[in-house]
Structure 1
């Protein structure tokens, strides 16, 4: 049964080694099941949810979940283990640990060295903490807030100036990039001059585009965080969802415009803007985090602010083009 393993290297706060425990139960493949159960009694392991099966040199060969161990009718532990089980390295990022645990339904995630020797395991309570921290960090990044070196929890207690410093950069970017939206408005100034009613629907169109885009960003970031993403299928699905939502909202908006203003062409222009804006927002909201990920950046980093600018500009451009063709 296991000895306490020592890890002497320094690792970052989000590395697997920072979360793992070294006092975990191990067994050889040829050990009788009854002997393993007997050896567990009286042992004070830091984590005993899983028995890790190793060879004579300590290389991980498989795992046995504790419920499978006590329900086993086999004679040897190797007969009931899950063989060639996946593991993480000591310097792997905590997000990889969480993704692996979710994908394989793992209770505790084994940690191995470069030669595949078991050096510890990340226990269930650490997995819950990792999932929560990653979720909080994604929320902060989606909002354009820089992460704190000590984790998302520490950000709440950080000094005021530090919190301002972490929030300001992407907002400055948004302020500068909003000039793109301004240019769209200026380019269609004639439409606003010709019919003041056209301006009434700009806030609603901007809101709808932003809301649809935010939903798509959230779906994309979570999908990327849980493992391999079939990007073409999901992108196609998001486009279909964006069109469906845009169509539904467009019909509702057109009905309201027609009822209040009695202007059929303007109602049609608003409907087309909502439909087109919904499709663009869904594709941009889903595709931008994926592009960030392919470029090696955090998919959540700045996706919210960047998507907002693109979605607003695209929605207004579609709207004013429709107004120019149908209303004026």
Structure 2
């Protein structure tokens, strides 16, 4: 039961060493539970949610949650401890800490040095901060906002020009790439002029494509964070889900168009556009972060803006092609 030594080198903001506490309760496996309970009385630790069990060389053997100790037991810590969980090093990225805590349902994540010796733990309060920060970072990445070197929270208080610089690049790209959508609209100018009702459904098609694509991007980014996830299987699943969503929404939309406008061919064109656009959006939204990752780029950064352009152009092209075939 001691305060563990502090790390020598100052850790980076997003490393485990910046979040861990060294003042944590530790004990040997042969320590009687009743004795440990008495030893804990009157002591104050920076984090006491978990007692970590170590050997004489400070190597982590297991852990016991404080509520199990309070419950009382006649044996030793070896009788009630959980086996040593996976641990992180002081240099581990905070994203790995959050993933490990969620995967193993841990309230404190142990930190070990290169020799496997226990040096501290990331306590519950810090885990909540990390999860909040990672969530904030994912939201920024999905919007195409470049990360701040001092963490996402720092970007809220950064100078105005710095914040502008981090948000503008992908939006400029989106503005330039939106010419692709304009070209699609111009290419089917005759269809719009021939039947003004054709234009009524453009906003809905763009929205549906964007919503499906955004969901697929989120699934893809989360899948890439899990090392054991089979991307190929998930891509196949997203294709099936995209088709299922497209069929469901296409039938609903076609029925609504037929009910309001009484135009069966226009209804068919709208239904096919939603079906095709949904399938394309699901595949593109899922595959784009995966492609970024394979190219060595951040899979989340910019996926949203790029995906939006592709899926909007694709869904409108499918729509106007359907209109040209069935309505004109």
Q: TM-score, normalised by structure 2?
A: 0.92
Comparing 94-103 and 175-184, the one that deviates more:
175-184
Is contact 2:34-2:73 (8 Å) kept? Answer: no
Partner of 2:231: 231
CA distance, structure 2, for counterparts of residue 72 and residue 232 of structure 1: 49
1:302 Cα deviation from its structure 2 partner: 1.0
CA distance, structure 2, for counterparts of residue 131 and residue 293 of structure 1: 22
- 1:151-200 deviations in whole A, cap 9, x for unaligned? 33332233222221111011011112223223333444443454443333
Partner of 1:31: 31
CA distance, structure 1, for counterparts of residue 35 and residue 291 of structure 2: 52
Runs of 4+ in 1 over 4 A off after TM superposition: none
Query: Measured at CA, do residues 30 and 294 of structure 1 come closer, stay the same or move farther in structure 2, by a change above 3 Å?
Result: farther
**Secondary structure of the equivalent of 2:299?**
coil
Comparing 42-51 and 217-226, the one that deviates more:
217-226
1:258 Cα deviation from its structure 2 partner: 2.3
Partner of 2:185: 185
1:227 Cα deviation from its structure 2 partner: 5.5
1:95 Cα deviation from its structure 2 partner: 0.8
- 1:269-320 deviations in whole A, cap 9, x for unaligned? 1100001111111222223223333444333211110110111121112112
Partner of 2:304: 304
Partner of 2:150: 150
**Secondary structure of the equivalent of 1:88?**
coil
CA distance, structure 1, for counterparts of residue 172 and residue 130 of structure 2: 31
1:102 Cα deviation from its structure 2 partner: 0.5
Query: Measured at CA, do residues 317 and 223 of structure 1 come closer, stay the same or move farther in structure 2, by a change above 3 Å?
Result: same
Q: How big is the alpha-carbon RMSD for the aligned residues of Structure 1 and Structure 2?
A: 2.1
CA distance, structure 1, for counterparts of residue 318 and residue 74 of structure 2: 67
Is contact 1:99-1:227 (8 Å) kept? Answer: no
**Secondary structure of the equivalent of 2:78?**
helix
Partner of 1:286: 286
Partner of 2:43: 43
1:253 Cα deviation from its structure 2 partner: 2.0
**Secondary structure of the equivalent of 2:62?**
strand
CA distance, structure 2, for counterparts of residue 297 and residue 151 of structure 1: 18
Comparing 125-134 and 184-193, the one that deviates more:
184-193
Is contact 1:290-1:299 (8 Å) kept? Answer: yes
Is contact 1:144-1:305 (8 Å) kept? Answer: yes
Is contact 1:72-1:80 (8 Å) kept? Answer: no
1:210 Cα deviation from its structure 2 partner: 0.5
Is contact 2:34-2:74 (8 Å) kept? Answer: no
1:223 Cα deviation from its structure 2 partner: 4.1
Is contact 1:191-1:320 (8 Å) kept? Answer: yes
Partner of 2:120: 120
> Is 2:248 aligned against 1:248?
yes
Matches within 5 A, 1:127-142: 127-142=127-142
Q: Aligned pairs, how many?
A: 328
1:224 Cα deviation from its structure 2 partner: 3.8
Partner of 1:87: 87
Partner of 2:201: 201
Partner of 2:102: 102
1:133 Cα deviation from its structure 2 partner: 0.6
1:226 Cα deviation from its structure 2 partner: 5.5
Q: TM-score, normalised by structure 1?
A: 0.92
Unaligned stretches of 5+ in structure 2? none
Partner of 1:5: 5
Comparing 152-161 and 136-145, the one that deviates more:
152-161
CA distance, structure 2, for counterparts of residue 135 and residue 325 of structure 1: 45
CA distance, structure 2, for counterparts of residue 96 and residue 297 of structure 1: 18
